[in-house]
Amino acid sequence: MGERIAIIGVGETEFRSRNVEASHVDLVNLAVKRALENAQLTIKDIDTVITGQMELFEGLYLPDMWLVEGTGAYLKSGMRIQTGGTTGTSVATTAFCHAASGEFKTVLAVAYEKQDEGSSEAALRSISEDTFYDIGAGGKSAAPAMAELAMDMLERGAVTEEQIAALRVNESECASRNPYAHLNRKVTLDEVLHSRLLIPPLRLMHICPTSVGACAMILAPESVAKKICPNPAWVVDWVTVHAAMTPILGHQGIYLTHGPLGPLWGWAVEKSAVSLYKRNGITNPRKEVDVVEMYNMSTWHEAEWYERIHLCERNESGKLIEKGIVFLDGELPVNPSGGVVSTNAIGASAMLRVAEAAIQVRGEGDRRQVDGVETALAVGAGGDTYSAAVLLRKHL
Amino acid sequence: MSLRLGDTIGHDWIEKSESESFRLAKLKAESEARHFEKAARNGLLAVTSVVNLPFRESAGIYLTKFFAAIRDEGEIIANKCPACKRIVLPPRIVCGFCKIKIEDEPENWLTLNDTGTVLSCAVNVEREVDYATYRLIGQAFPIAFIRMDGGDQYSILVHFLKETDPGKLRAGMRVKAVWKPREQRRGRMSDILYFETIGGDR
């Protein structure tokens, strides 16, 4: 690894289901402006710009070109990153590499999605056809995947529907404290348990929404960060894993609950998190990490990933919820931002994990702030079966 | 709506009747249109664009063999990694685990049975709607992961089940492919209509 690096600025837009007042450029520009304000820099101080969003969702070709006024990338270096749902974390980790390279004094990372302008579902179903499956059998829709996983969790007794509902209630409590969250209304246990059944046992309230919004972060190497930032979030380490595999078949395979490797989303998450722990001497993540931000595309996934990132033993995730350990006031709060089930502007979702973890480490969480955060873990994941785990610390 | 032998399913299969999902989709579209109209009254415009792009993808040597076997023989074929011996379904040029080439030689090919065991399945309560066209898409039938006989733990297909009664669906049930008639097969996965239940559950 090159130089040690830090996150010195974070900016988010308010996430909503629609934003007809802002174009792509306006939206991205707002997040960039807020990140620059947060870092007390101007766009002139930025050396390189990394951008990312899900391709095709808005029908926008070469988005990095159209966005240039919004990102401030004119005549600066940089690149565009796309790794499916993981895009945001991949943008962040690419920015980390740039900052650590010693070539740049500051790096701006921008990720966004404007899902009100097209149909994500239509884009997924009609454009992302693959050669093998033409039957539409679960290949392009995440919901059957989530249902498969949920059914497996129930069958092996890892969680109950009541526990999952309690988790959703906690997420909504967290989201109500986050001024940027999309679904920020507090919901009740009863509402979740009786929300519309989609694919048993999956209900509408278990699933993430489609949101509009942007997130930006500013990175700097240690030599710069120490000079210009009184309160940096140090990026200690990060690990990216790509776990797609053809028998278990690219994006079809991620849904496989009973396959040789288990569900591949989770498999990638486990590989990246465990490797991160090993590299950083973490033996008991539940004690050694103070807060986790993870990509919970459904509340069922969040519960499964407690097992995957070794917060508990297999089939024990229900107990973590039952005891309130992962709640906002618990021993190890998970997703104090409200998580992806509250806010899901897909391209930005995975970067929000890192950004919100940085906010926690820097103590800027306001009403969603967890007390005494020294170490934070952020995990991004997505349908491409990339996963990236990032470890942040308050002190080097 | 019942499916008859010879009907195509999935992307080609469009239900024309107005169902609950259809109405919901229409409502959503109308509400979105109203939202943009309201914005327009405040002097903010939305520019509409519709994209219609036909794609043609090359199957390559390995998948061509696979699809030809489906079309001409009504058979599911796979290849086998010469190093780790695992079965690769659909057949690929490289074993992802071993990262070596699987040569296109007769000894590396095998035919699986068209029977298998259901590992898990998901039942959509409502069919999904394509918001671009308002067509009902997605699955009217349960989607299942099926481990094919004559293969190994890796030889798994994703396909539909004929059985729609959730009470009768379970992991371990034995199923068999129902093929379209030879003259209707085009060399695609949809040449198999669905898998029907056979006896002898595991």
Of B112, B131, B158, which residue constitutes the final position of a domain?
A: B112
Least confident piece of the model among A138-152, A218-232, A341-355: A138-152
Q: Which of B48, B154, B194 to mutate to test the interface with A (most CBs of A within 10 A)?
A: B154
> Which pLDDT score, from 0 to 100, does residue A182 have?
96
- Candidate from B63, B86, B143 with C-beta closest to A131: B63
Is residue B81 located within the same domain as residue B152?
A: no
**B46 in reach of chain A (CB within 8 A):** yes
Beta-sheet pairing, B100-101 with B94-95: antiparallel
What does the DSSP assignment read for A66-125? HTHHHHT-TT-EEEEE-BTBTHHHHHHHHHHHHHHTTS-S-EEEEEEEEGGGS-HHHIII
Length of chain B: 202
The ipTM, to two decimals, is 0.74
Q: What would the 3-class secondary structure string for A290-317 be? A: CEEEECCCEHHHHHHHHHHCCCCCCCCH
Measured from the Cβ of residue A190, the count of other Cβ atoms closer than 10 Å reads 10
Is residue B95 located within the same domain as residue B119?
A: no
Task: Please compute the mean of the pLDDT values over residues A233-255 and round it to a whole number.
Answer: 68
Per-residue pLDDT reduced to its tens digit, A315-365: 999 999 999 999 999 999 999 999 999 999 999 999 999 999 999 999 999
Residue percentage of chain A with pLDDT more than 70: 88
Is residue B200 located within the same domain as residue B143?
A: yes
Beta-sheet pairing, B143-148 with B156-160: antiparallel
> Which pLDDT score, from 0 to 100, does residue B13 have?
38
A-proximal residues of B, 127-156, CB under 8 Å: 128-133, 137-139, 143, 145, 153-156
Per-residue pLDDT of chain B (202 residues; tens, 9 = 90+): 344 444 444 433 334 444 555 666 677 777 777 877 888 888 888 777 666 666 677 888 999 999 999 999 999 999 999 999 988 888 989 988 889 999 999 999 999 999 999 877 777 766 666 555 566 665 567 878 888 999 987 788 888 888 888 778 887 899 999 999 999 998 888 899 999 999 887 7
> Which pLDDT score, from 0 to 100, does residue B10 have?
41
Task: Count structural domains, chain B.
Answer: 2
Nearest CA in chain A to B160: A137
Higher pLDDT, A48 or A21: A48
Residue A170 has pLDDT above 70, yes or no: yes
Beta-sheet pairing, A48-52 with A77-81: parallel
Is residue B136 located within the same domain as residue B156?
A: yes
Residue percentage of chain A with pLDDT more than 90: 71
Does the beta-carbon distance from B90 to A139 stay under 8 Å? no
Q: How far is CA A359 from CA A14, A375, B53, B111, in A?
A: 15, 12, 43, 56
- Candidate from A121, A129, A131 with C-beta closest to B130: A121
Nearest CA in chain A to B36: A20
Residue A130 has pLDDT above 70, yes or no: no
Does the beta-carbon distance from A259 to B119 stay under 8 Å? yes
Is residue B118 located within the same domain as residue B191?
A: yes
Question: Is the residue at B160 inside a domain?
Answer: yes
Is residue B135 located within the same domain as residue B107?
A: no
Interface A–B counts its CB contacts (< 8 A) at 140
> Which pLDDT score, from 0 to 100, does residue A138 have?
46
Decide if A361 contacts A355 (C-beta within 8 A).
no
Rounded Cα distance, A271 and B26, in Å = 43
State the nearest Cα–Cα gap between B188 and chain A, in angstroms: 7
> Which pLDDT score, from 0 to 100, does residue B20 have?
59
Rounded Cα distance, B38 and B36, in Å = 5
Per-residue pLDDT reduced to its tens digit, A370-381: 999 999 999 998
Give me the amino acid identity at B16: K
**A129 in reach of chain B (CB within 8 A):** yes
* DSSP H or E run through A270: helix A264-279
> Which pLDDT score, from 0 to 100, does residue A294 have?
96
The CA-to-CA distance between both ends of chain B, in Å, stands at 31
> Which pLDDT score, from 0 to 100, does residue A251 have?
37
CA A28 to chain centre: 18
Does the beta-carbon distance from A119 to B44 stay under 8 Å? no
pLDDT band at A146 (very low <50, low <70, confident <90, very high): confident
**A116 in reach of chain B (CB within 8 A):** yes
Half-sphere CA count of A133, side-chain side, radius 13 A: 27
Question: Is the residue at B28 inside a domain?
Answer: no
Question: Is the residue at B29 inside a domain?
Answer: no
Is residue B72 located within the same domain as residue B120?
A: no
Q: Give the tokens for residue A182.
A: 């999309």
Does the beta-carbon distance from A137 to B160 stay under 8 Å? yes
Nearest CA in chain A to B99: A245
Is residue B81 located within the same domain as residue B71?
A: yes
Closest CA to A89 of A267, A346, A350, A357: A350
Is residue B141 located within the same domain as residue B130?
A: yes
Q: What would the 3-class secondary structure string for chain B be? A: CCCCCCCCCHHHCCCCCCCHHHHHHHHHHHHHHHHHHHHHHCCCCCCCCCCCCCCCCCCHHHHHHHHHHHHHHCCEEEEECCCCCCEECCCCCEECCCCEECCCCHHHEEEECCEEEEEEEECCCCCEEECCCCEEECCCCCEEEEEECCCCCCCEEEEEECCCCHHHCCCCCEEEEEECCHHHCCCCHHHEEEEEEECCCC
Report the b/e string of B38-57 with b at 16+ CB within 10 A: eeeeeeeeeeeeeeeeeeee
State the nearest Cα–Cα gap between A247 and chain B, in angstroms: 5
Rounded Cα distance, A338 and A281, in Å = 29
Q: Give the tokens for residue B94.
A: 């490289």
Does the beta-carbon distance from A122 to B171 stay under 8 Å? no
Task: Please compute the mean of the pLDDT values over residues A159-188 and round it to a whole number.
Answer: 97
Q: What is the largest CA-CA distance in chain B?
A: 70
**B126 in reach of chain A (CB within 8 A):** yes
Decide if A349 contacts A340 (C-beta within 8 A).
yes
Q: How far is CA A225 from CA A75, A100, A231, A238, in A?
A: 24, 12, 9, 19
Residue A163 has pLDDT above 50, yes or no: yes
Rounded Cα distance, A244 and A267, in Å = 9
Residue A247 has pLDDT above 60, yes or no: no
Q: Which of B35, B77, B124 to mutate to test the interface with A (most CBs of A within 10 A)?
A: B124
Does the beta-carbon distance from B132 to A116 stay under 8 Å? no
Rounded Cα distance, B71 and A65, in Å = 45
- Candidate from B57, B59, B143 with C-beta closest to A137: B143
Q: What is the DSSP letter of A12?
A: E
Half-sphere CA count of A208, side-chain side, radius 13 A: 27
Give me the amino acid identity at A96: F
Per-residue pLDDT reduced to its tens digit, A52-72: 998 777 777 788 888 999 999
Residue A243 has pLDDT above 80, yes or no: no
Q: Give the tokens for residue A283.
A: 């033996």
Rounded Cα distance, A394 and A370, in Å = 13
Of B112, B139, B159, which residue constitutes the final position of a domain?
A: B112
For residue A127, the chain B residues in CB contact (below 8 A) are: 53, 55
**Domains (ranges, CATH) in chain A?**
5-120+211-220 (3.40.47.10)
Question: Is the residue at B10 inside a domain?
Answer: yes
Does the beta-carbon distance from A249 to B138 stay under 8 Å? no
Closest CA to A253 of A384, A120, A121, A344: A384
Question: Is the residue at B145 inside a domain?
Answer: yes
> Which pLDDT score, from 0 to 100, does residue B53 have?
65
The 3-state DSSP class for residue A7 equals strand
For residue A257, the chain B residues in CB contact (below 8 A) are: 119-120, 145
Residue A198 has pLDDT above 70, yes or no: yes
For residue B44, the chain A residues in CB contact (below 8 A) are: 20-21
Rounded Cα distance, A291 and B150, in Å = 48
pLDDT band at A262 (very low <50, low <70, confident <90, very high): low
Is residue B158 located within the same domain as residue B74?
A: no
> Which pLDDT score, from 0 to 100, does residue B101 have?
95
Q: Give the tokens for residue B188.
A: 């695609």
Question: Is the residue at B178 inside a domain?
Answer: yes
Segments forming the whole domain that contains residue B67: 57-112
Is residue B84 located within the same domain as residue B125?
A: no
> Which pLDDT score, from 0 to 100, does residue A264 have?
58
> Which pLDDT score, from 0 to 100, does residue B54 have?
67
Least confident piece of the model among A26-40, A158-172, A221-235, B177-191: B177-191
Report the b/e string of A273-311 with b at 16+ CB within 10 A: bbebbeeeebeebbeebbbbbbbbbbbbbbbbbbbbbbb
Q: Which of A135, A202, A246, A249 to mutate to test the interface with B (most CBs of B within 10 A)?
A: A135
> Which pLDDT score, from 0 to 100, does residue A238 have?
97
Decide if A85 contacts A346 (C-beta within 8 A).
yes
Is residue B82 located within the same domain as residue B105?
A: yes
**B198 in reach of chain A (CB within 8 A):** no
Q: How far is CA B147 from CA A136, A264, A381, A394, B89, in A?
A: 19, 17, 27, 49, 10
Rounded Cα distance, B108 and A301, in Å = 38
Decide if A201 contacts A147 (C-beta within 8 A).
yes
Which residues are bridge partners to B17 per DSSP?
none
Question: Is the residue at B38 inside a domain?
Answer: no
Of B89, B112, B135, which residue constitutes the final position of a domain?
A: B112
Question: Is the residue at B193 inside a domain?
Answer: yes
Task: Please compute the mean of the pLDDT values over residues A91-104 and round it to a whole number.
Answer: 96
Measured from the Cβ of residue A359, the count of other Cβ atoms closer than 10 Å reads 27
